[in-house]
A and B are shown apart, each in its own frame.
Chain A
Amino acid sequence: MKIAVCVKQILDPELPPSAFEIDKTLQQAKTGNKAQVLDPYSGNALELALQLKDKRPDVKVTALTFGNSKAEDVLRKCLGVLVDEAIHVLYERMLVPDSYATAMVLAAAIERTGPYDLILCGRQAGDWDAGLIGSLLGEMLSMPSVCFVSKLDFSDHGIMIERYVDGGTQVLASDMPVLVTVTNDETNVIRIAKVKDVMKAHRKPILRLEPNQLDIPEADIALVKASAGIQDLFIPEQVSNCEIIEGEDPGEKVEKLLVGLKQQKLF
């Protein structure tokens, strides 16, 4: 059984606001030597794949990423937690962070290296927060997709899927192949790698592909051309109208707060 996990390297979402800068010509955040990390939801997806691998030894997990040469770091991280194979679709300069283009390239790489029984993506990436790749991939690969999955397990014939929806948790049974996008849950926090494995990961091979080696449908290319254009990227001005409540002691502060809240008829 083959599982593909699409992972992404992103600018550290916990980068302090004071260190965040924008490159106006590229319409992207400057990376420079700032930390770049495995997108947290990619991590959740990866963990679910590894949990399936823990349960059945015949599961082979492939980590797949699309990005520049720096993005190799996240594949090394995946190899460190013992995925079986890593594929890097290398593209040095992606001028526009475009979801269609990314999905298209990933779909072609999946077609090229597949077939896979299960494809996992993060529900969205923590940089542009688009949340489109998974669903677009499903469409492009003509594969059913299920969003916001928190847990996966094998069932008699296919796979059991737990997902968060409004009002509760839905448990689904599905045949394979199927694509799921993964959301965070206390049970799918990415595991800590053994240092031994991390060291070995640096010597493992990575399959590198260039986008022009991939077979991308004309219609999809047309879609990319027609897709969104970023007009502007800017840091919004923060206007604060916060009233810091001063007081001699905590008691006085609470009193003053309650007076304010009552004035606003908040309760």
Chain B
Amino acid sequence: MVPGREIYWNISGYLFQYLFLGCSLAICTYGFWRRYRKWRAGTPSNRSGAVKKRIVTVAKQMISHSRIFGYPFTGIFHYSLVMAFFVLFLGTTAVFFEADFGIQILSGKFYLYFQSLALDTAGFVALIGIGSAVFQRFVLKPKRYQNMSAGVTTLIGLFVLLLSGFLVEGLRISATADPWGRWSFLGYAVSLPMTGIDIATLKGLHQFFWWFHLGVAFGLIAYLPFSKLKHIILGPLNIYLQRLGPKGITVDPIDIENAEKLGTESIADFSWKQLLDLDACTECGRCTDFCPVSLSRQPFSPRNVIVELRNSFDRSFIKNRTVKNQEAKTPLVLETIGSETIWLCRTCRACMEECPVFIEHIPKFIEPRRYEVMENANFPKSLHDPIESLESRRHAYRGTPLSRSDWFKSLNIPVIDKTTDVELLYWVGCTTALNEDNWSIARSVSSLLARAGISFAVLGDEEICCGEPARRIGNEYLFETVARENIAILDQYRFRAIITACPHCFNMLRNEYQDFQSVYTVYHHSEYLWYLISSGKLKIEQPLHKTITYQDPCYLGRYNGIYDKPRGIITKANTIPPFEMKRSKKRSFCCGGGGGGAWLGDENVPVENRVNIQRAHQVAATGTEVLATACPFCMMMLRDGIKTISESGKPEVSDISEILHSACRRQ
């Protein structure tokens, strides 16, 4: 006899299930439609095009689970659950094919190995997965979970679904004395205690539980858009609709001249994609778990912001049924999340890099900043001076006694002129030129370029701010003005590429100026110096012999994916390769200087809760001799931090260019 079983044994009127399925699918669709209608209240954001690329990205994420595996235990059970239910879904589909299309597949080896063994294995794995999820939620209780009971209904639903499935299987095996029952090892195990129960009772129970199992399954489908499980749809959808192009651009540009309202006032002023983000959130808390501001125990949590925005928007949407009423009555962002909150974000991108469904957290802070700065002129007092100074002096360092050319007054540094071609334009940046503590960076970089025989020049006093602080603080108008001025300045000169030692300028010039159709070849000094050493243009004369760890600047690492070259430079320049801090690379801990943080003034924040102090503690705890970095903001913030916490002022903070410069010095 060929192994197999009778489809829909003991079940009459199974076709009714399609009616039920239709109903539950209708409810499911309605649920998602309601959400869709909510997103449509948002403002436009272009996420079309590049379909193939988008699909590939989604598939990659679903197959690799790379971000979910960021927490290995969660990763393993989530992956198991996904795969198990996928296999179970295939099994159900196989029944559908056989019963409704008459395709004979549920027999022979396929029946034994797949429909029996594999499905029971999948069910077993799924049970363990649910058990692990419960274990994590109620025993391990990770801090990142805000609401421990969230998703419990879903877990119970899935558990009951699996259990009833095995019960049905067991009843069938027992009632039919299935000769291949052992292949369905879990169903078989369930059937063992049933020996001795009369067939009629078994058949009655089987019928009951069959429909019960079906009810639970369809119930879950109907419940999908209202439950945590909605992420099965919204997660991939949100990944599909992510912003493509360079990661360095996190916010949409605004048409300042024509926009009715600048920035985001009420939640409905967010773009539809930002609103979709809110629904896609699974509250997994990875964002908050890696947020340097949260980790410094300041009152800030990106996850809570997302959840609060969503809850508040949902409530208002229930109140005002129509989209039209919606416009007038959506809650204000700042009333929902608190007016201080938007200024705490350092735009370090740790949250966005970690989020498994690719939620864009940073625009949630930048867009309301734009509104507050441009429409309300209401922003922290500590930022007034920098903005005002940027307006009139084209740098944000009010009170600096320095001019941009002071650092090379006594040096022989060429200033660019219109008649000469140069290979590189060295963009120094305000944070380096106007803070004496950072002059060593500019001097090392220019000296190394000169040593390698590269023709380069600086803009000198003609250089102005790249506009980065203005954009992060939310003054898009000032940013645009400055950016256009810069482009006009740069267009006057002939150079092949720009080199800069500031990741913030680097990201602006390389990525964000693309909004103005200005594309430059821009190198961060770590890239170019690496090229100079690896091509032999620069020779290491006397490598250092120190313990060195490296601070990844956010705008170099997470924003631009440059992790290895700075490390490579240290490895070449030092006899000991750099060692890693606990938080490094993608998971590096911000210095606190980005997103306007360098100017925000932590006066009201207790010392121990400042981001740079927290990082300084982490650095000091490693016992390293040198902290290397590749960003003048990191230099400034971490030097300050280390000075504050350490009596000896150690470890010293050095730019990679300084380290390389010492190693290239001839005896």
Contacts and interface: CB of A to CB of B under 8 A. Distances in A.
A35 B387 CA distance: 14
A37 interface: yes
A189 B264 CA distance: 28
A18 interface: yes
Interface in B533-583: none
A195 B375 CA distance: 6
A193 B377 contact: yes
| Most chain A C-beta atoms within 10 Å of own C-beta, residue among B374, B387, B398 | B374
B399 A196 contact: no
A250 B526 CA distance: 37
Given A35-B393, A35-B394, A196 B262 contact: yes
B387 A192 contact: yes
Interface in B382-429: 384, 387-388, 392-394, 398-403, 405-406, 409
Contacts of B377: 191-195
A192 B384 contact: yes
B477 interface: yes
A161 to B, nearest CB: 27
Contacts of A193: 377
Nearest to A190: B388
Given A14-B398, A18-B409, A19-B403, A194 B256 contact: no
Interface residues of A, number: 18
B475 interface: yes
B257 interface: yes
Given A194-B375, A194-B376, A199 B257 contact: yes
Interface in A191-239: 191-196, 198-199
Contacts of B616: none
A167 interface: no
A14 B395 CA distance: 12
B373 interface: yes
A181 B256 CA distance: 38
Contact of B477 (A17, A33, A195): A195
A16 interface: yes
A84 interface: no
Contact of B400 (A16, A192, A194, A198): A16
A12 interface: yes
A18 B403 contact: yes
Contacts of B387: 192
A17 B409 CA distance: 13
B399 to A, nearest CB: 7
| Most chain A C-beta atoms within 10 Å of own C-beta, residue among B403, B409, B477 | B403
A18 B406 contact: yes
A195 B402 contact: no
A195 B379 CA distance: 12
Contact of B375 (A17, A192, A196): A196
A229 B349 CA distance: 61
A195 B262 contact: yes
B258 to A, nearest CB: 11
A178 B68 CA distance: 72
A16 B397 CA distance: 12
B374 A12 contact: no
Contact of A37 (B373, B392, B400, B409): B392
| Most chain A C-beta atoms within 10 Å of own C-beta, residue among B409, B462, B477 | B477
Nearest to B395: A35
A149 to B, nearest CB: 23
A191 B377 CA distance: 9
A199 B398 CA distance: 24
Given A195-B374, A199-B477, A12 B392 contact: yes
A12 B397 CA distance: 14
B461 interface: yes
A34 to B, nearest CB: 9
A37 B385 CA distance: 13
Contact of A14 (B376, B379, B399): B399
- Interface pairs A-B: 6 shortest CB-CB: A195-B374, A19-B403, A16-B403, A194-B377, A35-B393, A192-B377
24 contacts: A12-B393, A14-B393, A14-B399, A16-B401, A17-B401, A18-B402, A18-B403, A18-B406, A18-B409, A19-B403, A19-B405, A35-B392, A193-B377, A194-B377, A195-B262, A195-B374, A195-B375, A195-B377, A195-B475, A195-B476, A195-B478, A196-B375, A199-B257, A199-B477
Interface of B: 256-257, 262, 373-377, 379, 384, 387-388, 392-394, 398-403, 405-406, 409, 461-462, 475-478
Given A16-B403, A195-B377, A195-B477, 6 more contacts: A19-B405, A36-B392, A192-B387, A196-B262, A198-B477, A199-B256
